[in-house]
Amino acid sequence: MTPSPRSLTGWTHEAQLAVLARSDPANLKAFADPLIETLPEITVVENRTGLVMLPMRDTAQGTHFHLGEVLMSEARITANDHEGYGMRRGRDLEAAMAMAVVDLAVSLGRAGDDCLAFLEAEARAQADADHETLCRVEATRVDMETF
């Protein structure tokens, strides 16, 4: 029987993965590297680059069509019947592996406080970057008036 994966308090698995996928690669690698020693023996199932096709829905007729492919890096690892997965944009296999290590650590319930702190810091940085972008976008808002 596959053991149930653990999770971080206040975090859905979806939110955790989304933050890891967008996190700064240098920060992610630096955080994941020492985590490896705290984990049971890891088996690497996959660590590769590949393409993800990105479809879109047309607003004129509702047709789904392909916009094109995005280069991604993927890592899939296991330990003690738990699975860790990483997928990120670009050709950085180490960053994808680092994401998988953090995902595995959370699933195993290891270094929970550290993972939580890392995710919260990265989430805050990403939210700040988005907020700054959107404030700059808002500066270009126009109000039309008919004379």
Partner 1 sequence: MAYVATRGGERAIEQSQRLFCAEMGDITPDRIAEIRAAMPYLIDRIMGEASLYDEDLAALALAQTGGELYEAVLLLRAWRTTQPRISVAEPVTQDALFTHRRISAAFKDIPGGQVLGPTLDYAHRILATTVLDGQVSTPDPVTPAKMASPPRQPSVSAWQAENGLLSPATSDHLTGNDIPDVTREPLLFPAKRAHTLQSLARAETGGVLALGYAAQRGYGQAHPTVNELRLAEAEIVVTHPRGTRFSAGRVKVSQAEVVSKKGSQLELGFSATMGWNEVKVIAAATLDLNSKGAPKGSATEEEFFLYHTEGVESSGFCIHFKLPHYVTFQSSLDAMRDAKARKAAPEKSPEPAE
**77 near partner 1, judged by CB under 8 A:** no
For partner 1, the closer of residues 21 and 36 by Cβ is: 21
Candidate residues 79, 85, 98, 118; the one interacting with partner 1 per rule CB under 8 A: 85
3-state secondary structure of 111: coil
Contact between 43 and partner 1 by CB under 8 A: the answer reads: no
Query: What's the rounded Cα separation, in Å, for the pair 44 and 101?
Result: 10
Burial class (CB in 10 A: 0-12, 13-18, 19+), 129: exposed
* Piece of the chain touching partner 1 by CB under 8 A; list 30-38, 84-92, 116-124: 84-92
136 touches partner 1 by CB under 8 A: yes
Note whether 52 binds partner 1 by CB under 8 A: yes
Binders of partner 1 among residues 94 to 113 (CB under 8 A) are: 103
Based on the shown chain and the rule CB under 8 A, indicate whether residue 147 belongs to the binding site for partner 1: no
- The closest alpha carbon to 31, from 116, 108, 89, belongs to 116
The CA radius of gyration of the chain, in Å to the nearest whole number, is: 19
